[in-house]
Amino acid sequence: MFDTVNGLPLHPLVVHAVVVLLPLAALGVLALAVRPAWRGRFGVLVVAVAALATAAIPLATESGESLEHRVGDPGRHAELGDTLLWYALPLLVVALGLVLLHRRAVRRGDGRRPATLGVVVAVLAVVVAAANLVQVYRVGESGAKAVWGDTPAAQQRPGGGDD
């Protein structure tokens, strides 16, 4: 797999797909879980975003391993990054489950009253979505620390004066 684009490492470019799409999918799943009426209108879109995010994770992992060979071991970031797929896959499954249960309810004509299975899947979806948001934060924070350490993004000039 190529590891650069125009001389830039591919990992920081690819990882932004995960950083944007996975939290967006998690928020979408939360919305579908809380507002069942939105499952018919937005469900397929949420499933598609979750699928794209899940597909982007192996690309981010592979490109991260290529970058690791160039610059060294990022430590905890690599370990946490390797776990992210195992958070995203259940998110995709519960998103798909919410949509399929909604379609089944509509087809049967009992869309007004949520079935017990639908409530269980919705509660599970909330837990899985929250776990995804936390894990994306943890992976991203560890990556930022691996690159920047404890250095603030905007440092004062040497001398510290307000000339």
Tell me: the pLDDT tens digits for 107-119? 888 756 667 898 9
Q: What is the pLDDT of residue 68?
A: 83
Tell me the whole-structure pTM to 2 decimals: 0.85
Q: How many other C-beta atoms can be found within 10 angstroms of the C-beta atom of residue 81?
A: 24
The residue whose two tokens read 């982007």 is 56
Residue 75: which region, alpha, beta or left (left: phi > 0; alpha: psi -120 to 50)? Answer: left
pLDDT given for residue 112 in this prediction: 60
Q: Would you say residue 157 has pLDDT above 70?
A: no
CA distance 15 to 1: 15
Which has the closest alpha carbon to 77: 69, 68, 86, 89?
68
pLDDT tens-digit readout, 60-91: 999 988 888 888 888 899 899 999 999 999 99
Q: Are the C-beta atoms of 139 and 77 separated by less than 8 Å?
A: yes
For 52-56, 94-98, 107-111, 114-118, which range has the lowest pLDDT when averaged over its residues? 107-111
Domain ranges (residues) in the chain: 4-146
Q: Is the pLDDT of residue 159 over 70?
A: no
